[in-house]
Structure 1
Amino acid sequence: MKKNIFKIFAALFFIAVIVSCRKEDPLNVDFSKLNIDNPVANTPLDTWLTTTFLNEYNIDVIYRYNRFYHGDDRDVAAVKVDKVQPQMQTVLEGFLLPYRKVAGVTFIKKYAPKQFVLFGSGSYNPDNSYTLATAAAGRNITIYDLNSFDLSDPNTIVNKLRTIHHEFTHILNQIVPMPVDFQLITKSTYLATWTTKSDESAQADGYVTPYASSQPGEDFAETTTSLLVYGQAWYDDRANGSTAAGKIALKAKEASVEQYFTVNLGIDFRALQREIQEVVRNTYNYQQASFPYWLGQNLYKSLIVNAAGDPIYSAFPLSTPFSLVNNNMKTAIAALPYGLTYNFMKLNFTSSTAMDIEINFNQGTRSFISRYAYTMDLDQATGQTKFTIAAVGGNDASWVGNANLLRPAVQPMLDYLSNNTFVADWLPTGVDAVNYNKYGGFYVLGTPANNFYGLLGQ
């Protein structure tokens, strides 16, 4: 038996020797075609990432799959290669460049993450939620769920941008701790099991999202991100729709965030907010960042045109066509035989479909108003607006006696509003960060130079 085993072994050894010594041509196999995620290849995408992020900001972008970056306890899919550049372009436009413009290159070099890691799917948690991104060690941001990224959908882009700013806020807090006062504003209502909390309940308790109610760190990141990416109008609408206590909490959190950036980090928070909103509005065409959208939601209840009393008109004068009508109305009111003085005009948006004009005037030291009703046909997508004179809105002096008294003098203004088709917009363009989102107005369709604007009221 041993002899037979030896023979078999000897035969196998002999075959192995023959095979190992056989002379053959080298195999001509291109492994890059078998493995499309070839880490050696210097693709155009790699070149763009290196030039745009590594060389300019010392930021490494890792998109080739590596289990090390998401941990052994999760199953996460690799990112599709065609999603990488669109996502990182959003990082550049909506995150790095605004911070660079407002805070400067030194800030970017000191605080910006040194590594972005990209994955295609979400990272699911035991409570059935899934993680969209993480920040670690003050230097790394990992972004998940990128295979659903759609560059043609503004909502998708803005939501991803929101995720990036959320995680960067965590990085800032890891380097410069968040304010203690922020943590005390809604201390009694934080809830670890936040997935059971409805959005309505979170809003009523003073949170921008249910996730914000999970703990102070997430609350601070969600609040900051909402102010920067969704914008001031969204945040004000959230606060106005809350309870009295919830609104107080939300506005207190806003003040704490602004102070953290201004005092602790040395960044003009309002200037940063303005730069990010410009990208969201003009580059991504995000509808909820537009003035028509919020006018249609009836967030803004009034618009005051006070050419003589508001200093902003010195820096941004009213257009010549509107000023001509406005000044003629002022002169005509003064010419009435009652000793009247025109003060200002106010547009009251009583609903998303109704508006009235309020003319404020004096007789001596006493102040009066006259009012004139309009319907308002507003297209929230385009901003196109048509005002049509409506039936008298009431029977008190402002609607009847005063209105009739001033009508000959104000009729040209009433006609200006009813005879033109307007476009609602944030006006004036180029307004400083302090006044950003505080003013809005209308320009004549097809003639942007014919416009008026005023201070918005909620």
Structure 2
Amino acid sequence: MKYFLRVITLCLLVACSKQDNLGDVEDIPGLGGDTWVKGPLDKWLYDSLTVPYNIAVKYKWDQFEFELDKTLVPPKESQVIPVMKAVKKVWMDTYIAAAGELFFKRYCPKFFILSGSASWNENGTITLGTAEGGRKVVLYLVNDFRTKDMEGYQPEDAARVKQVFRVIEHEFAHILHQQIMYPVTFRQISKGLYTANWNNISNAKANRDGFVTAYAMASYDEDFAEMIATMLVEGRDGFDRIVNSIPPGFSANGISQAEARSRLRAKEAQVVSYYQTIWQMDFYRLQARTRNEIVRLLY
């Protein structure tokens, strides 16, 4: 359940004389009153993303771009270029290499909003990114983003960075299937096992039921997007490890090891076929490129 901030407005009737100077009221940041002298950061964003792809990146803080009931931290300006450079290498360049600039320009979201921190939900889960109508993507945890060439990088930072890429790949997968839906047969693979209580299930338990992550159990669409995001970010070997790590025996839902593995392989095949048939892309080549870029950044 989401709780929305209720604003009670007290209206006072007051008289204004002709002498009142309303122009003395200070501009309110985020409502059009805030301006700044464009610097090297703005030039890089404009030259690297806006000119070639018509993508705008908003890093100056504006609470109205986010849910008003969340406490968030603005992004550090020093983080903006490293984050967007990595996004360009891992997501943009790999899709362009696989499908061409025309494809990317047509379907890529045009507006990125950056938040320095994560967005915590009432049920204890964390929102790491959102997308609206295939147009706007919100990325959280920008201030914790560190690759191996950044000061202070630790091996454990790799997991957080991969989560940022997972968010982007996941949301772009939604954009694609909202343009052309994946085959209805995908919905039959794990029919009856989707649940709104996915946040109470571990990834390991979800794997035993034939899901790549616990979040994949939320719905058909999330299952499809999670398959794509996981396969791209973890690579072919990483996905194989997930499948092969499912232990013998039966899950709580009565799914055997062999059946769980079979379901994940069936979903993999559906994803590969969807990319080839609908978008004329070799998914495994896209997967290899994406994983190679991630390895270069993190290991």
* Residue of structure 2 equivalent to 1:112: 108
Within 5 A, what are the aligned runs for 1:180-191?
180-191=184-195
Deviation, structure 1 residue 51: 0.3
Q: In the alignment, does 2:297 pair up with 1:284?
A: yes
* Residue of structure 1 equivalent to 2:289: 275
Higher relative contact order (CA 8 A, sep 6+): 2
Q: Work out the CA distance in 2 between the residues paired with 1:125 and 1:179.
A: 32
- Give yes or no for contact 2:145–2:161 (8 Å, CA) kept in 1: yes
Deviation, structure 1 residue 285: 4.2
Unaligned runs of 5+ in 1: 1-16, 21-30, 32-37, 287-458
Cα deviation code 1:390-440 (max 9, x no counterpart): xxxxxxxxxxxxxxxxxxxxxxxxxxxxxxxxxxxxxxxxxxxxxxxxxxx
Q: In the alignment, does 2:164 pair up with 1:165?
A: no
Within 5 A, what are the aligned runs for 1:13-28?
none
RMSD: 2.0
Q: Aligned residues, how many?
A: 252
The AA in structure 2 aligned to 1:46 is D
The AA in structure 2 aligned to 1:265 is W
* Residue of structure 2 equivalent to 1:60: 56
Q: Work out the CA distance in 2 between the residues paired with 1:173 and 1:120.
A: 29
Deviation, structure 1 residue 195: 1.2
Q: Work out the CA distance in 2 between the residues paired with 1:151 and 1:51.
A: 23
Q: Work out the CA distance in 2 between the residues paired with 1:176 and 1:140.
A: 19
* Residue of structure 1 equivalent to 2:268: 254
* Residue of structure 2 equivalent to 1:392: none
Among 220, 223, 230, the alignment partner of 1:226 is: 230
* Residue of structure 2 equivalent to 1:193: 197
Among 156, 159, 183, the alignment partner of 2:160 is: 156
- In terms of fraction of residues, the more strand-rich structure is 1
Q: In the alignment, does 2:112 pair up with 1:98?
A: no
The AA in structure 1 aligned to 2:92 is L
Q: Work out the CA distance in 2 between the residues paired with 1:250 and 1:223.
A: 9
Deviation, structure 1 residue 100: 0.7
The AA in structure 1 aligned to 2:80 is V
Q: Secondary structure at the match of 2:288?
A: helix
- Give yes or no for contact 2:236–2:288 (8 Å, CA) kept in 1: no
Cα deviation code 1:142-180 (max 9, x no counterpart): 111212112234333323212211111112122222331
Structure 1 stretches of 4+ moved >6 Å:
none
Percent of aligned pairs sharing the same letter:
35
- Give yes or no for contact 1:211–1:218 (8 Å, CA) kept in 2: yes
- Give yes or no for contact 1:39–1:64 (8 Å, CA) kept in 2: no
- Give yes or no for contact 1:195–1:210 (8 Å, CA) kept in 2: yes
Unaligned runs of 5+ in 2: 1-18, 22-26, 28-33, 149-156, 247-256
Among 81, 88, 109, the alignment partner of 1:85 is: 81
Cα deviation code 1:336-383 (max 9, x no counterpart): xxxxxxxxxxxxxxxxxxxxxxxxxxxxxxxxxxxxxxxxxxxxxxxx
The AA in structure 1 aligned to 2:161 is I
- Give yes or no for contact 1:138–1:175 (8 Å, CA) kept in 2: no
Greater C-alpha Rg: 1
Deviation, structure 1 residue 97: 0.4
Q: Work out the CA distance in 2 between the residues paired with 1:39 and 1:161.
A: 31
- Give yes or no for contact 2:75–2:142 (8 Å, CA) kept in 1: yes
TM-score by length of 1: 0.53
Deviation, structure 1 residue 109: 1.1
Q: Work out the CA distance in 2 between the residues paired with 1:154 and 1:241.
A: 21
* Residue of structure 2 equivalent to 1:216: 220
Q: Work out the CA distance in 2 between the residues paired with 1:201 and 1:154.
A: 23
TM-score by length of 2: 0.80
- Give yes or no for contact 2:79–2:142 (8 Å, CA) kept in 1: yes
Q: Work out the CA distance in 1 between the residues paired with 2:219 and 2:63.
A: 29
Q: Secondary structure at the match of 1:73?
A: coil
* Residue of structure 1 equivalent to 2:38: 42
Q: Secondary structure at the match of 1:231?
A: helix
- Give yes or no for contact 2:216–2:224 (8 Å, CA) kept in 1: yes
